[in-house]
A and B are shown apart, each in its own frame.
Chain A
Amino acid sequence: MGAVRKRALPALLLFLVGAAARAQVPTSNVLYRVLRLKTATSTGSAFTIEVDEKQYLITARHLLKGFGSEGEVELWIEGRWTKRKARAIYPSKEIVDIAALDLGGPVTVTFPLEPSSGGMTLGQQVYFLGYPYGLGTSTSVADLPGFGEIPFLKSGIVSALDDRDPEANLLYLDGQDNPGFSGGPIVFWHSGSASFRVAGVVRGYQNEALPVLKKKKLDDPEATAYNDLYTRANSGIVIGYDIRHIVEAIRANRPIKARR
């Protein structure tokens, strides 16, 4: 009797875990946090995280060119652009292409999503989300109040992690990024906690200079660029920065404010 239970219950657990393993696609905890962002100079992607129980909108720093420390941004919510006042927080090192916007309150769901690259494995599959060319899932979840638009999901693997500069850790993914993903989250499945984590923020992709050739020289590997002309191509390497830089910046920013 006991033996039957002993054998059946692990079998049940095994099947549940097995089924769960098959279903590791980004969940609402990730999807509902991503928003389209428009600033005075750019349009791109952003997402929310909670740091010390307060929600911040995270995006790429280069989208906030000329924004300064305070200003107005627009978010695509419920099918229209909504203006929100924001206070910007930047990492100490300018090269780190991440920024946080304090909007004064939550703008998305606050379902669990840990901002950490801890446990990410080299070669692991990751997803990056955003709105390439302003595109997203047009048939959104029906009637969800306060919801934006389901973002584009793209996937790749973690190709390299460059942590030579402790204040500017880079993530390199093997994936096909497009304009518009900037500021979107890079998420991975953390098996230890059985949940998704945000590892970083999409900066962009590595450009590749391709020489312009005459048609007859296409098969010649030694051929040089015609009239020194080159075209810019996507190398298929996605570049992102580790999320911890902005988490540290937010935490560093809060005590200063408290002291004032």
Chain B
Amino acid sequence: MQKRSLEQAWKVTFAAVALIATAMALYVQLFERRSRQEEDRLAAARLEDALAESRVRLKAEIVAQLRAELAAEASTKKPGGLPLPNAVLRRGESGTGSSALQQIVGPLDSLQLRESLDALSREMEQSDRALRRDLEDLRAEVRRDLDVSGKVMSLLLVALIPLVANLLFSIWQPRRWRRDKEGTERETL
């Protein structure tokens, strides 16, 4: 008698654990998946924002640097003053007014700077496109992984639910038999 009740207790415990696991799996499958998708969407948006911000900052830094170089160049074009090291001597672009040579410090003139800036912008755009492509590939890979894990979880649930049902049935069935048997015995007496 005692042995049977111990067996019943174990079965009830297993059934409870299986029920809880099933409920949790169902929850994960139904609700967590949605929140994960939402998280992915937010992360992608955040990444996109960070990318745009970085791009703007980088552009601003480079433009500022190039402007500073242009300003430095302009300041060295002033006639007179002291001799400057590493300067080349050049006539002004306009060709009018003073024909004196001007000291130009630095190898870049404004046209070259503009060309450099344009080329740099093109390079950055290409870089952005490549980065977006990489990001899309990464997202697609994550989606594929999620789909696979979702399918695995669904299959596990499909396997688990009948098992739990079977366990519950095996607990419930002996009790009913016992009640039926006791009822028959009372009727006989």
With known contacts A1-B51, A1-B54, A15-B120, A111–B86 Cβ distance under 8 A: yes
- Residues A4 and B128 in contact, CB atoms below 8 Å apart: yes
Find the residue from B123, B124, B128, B131 having the highest chain A CB count within 10 A.
B123
How many A residues, CB 8 Å from partner? Answer: 34
Known: A27-B88, A31-B89. A8 touches B100 (CB 8 A): no
Nearest-CB distance from B59 to chain A (Å)? 9
**Chain B 52-87: CB-based contact to A (< 8 A → 1; otherwise 0):** 001100100010000000000000000111111111
Interface residues of A in 106-127 (CB under 8 A from B): 109, 111-112
Q: How far is the CA of A112 from the CA of B131 in the complex (A)?
A: 44
In the complex, the answer to whether B99 meets A8 with C-beta atoms within 8 Å is no
Pairwise interchain contact A147-B88, C-beta atoms closer than 8 A: no
Closest to A147 in B: B83
Q: Does B95 contact A (CB under 8 A)?
A: no
B20 within 8 A of A: no
A18-57 CB contact bits vs B (8 Å, 1 = yes)? 0110110111110110000000000000000000000000
Is B183 an interface residue, CB under 8 A from the partner? no
Q: Which residues of A contact B124 (CB under 8 A)?
A: 4, 7-8
Q: Which of A5, A20, A142 contacts B58 (CB 8 A)?
A: A5
Asked whether any CB of chain A lies closer than 8 Å to the CB of B101, the reply is yes
Tell me if A15 and B119 are in contact (CB < 8 A).
yes
Chain A 200-233 per-residue mask, 1 if CB under 8 angstroms from chain B, else 0: 0000000000000000000000000000000000
B89 touches A19 (CB 8 A): no
Whether A20 lies near B120 (C-beta < 8 A) is no
Q: Which residue from B50, B55, B85, B100 sits with its C-beta under 8 Å from A29?
A: B85
A residues less than 8 Å from B62 (CB atoms): 8, 12
B50 touches A1 (CB 8 A): yes
Q: Is B108 an interface residue (CB 8 A)?
A: yes
- In Å, the complex CA distance between A22 and B87 comes to 14
B116 at the binding interface (Cβ < 8 Å): yes
Closest 8 pairs (CB-CB, A-B): A23-B107, A143-B80, A142-B79, A111-B85, A20-B107, A15-B116, A142-B100, A1-B54
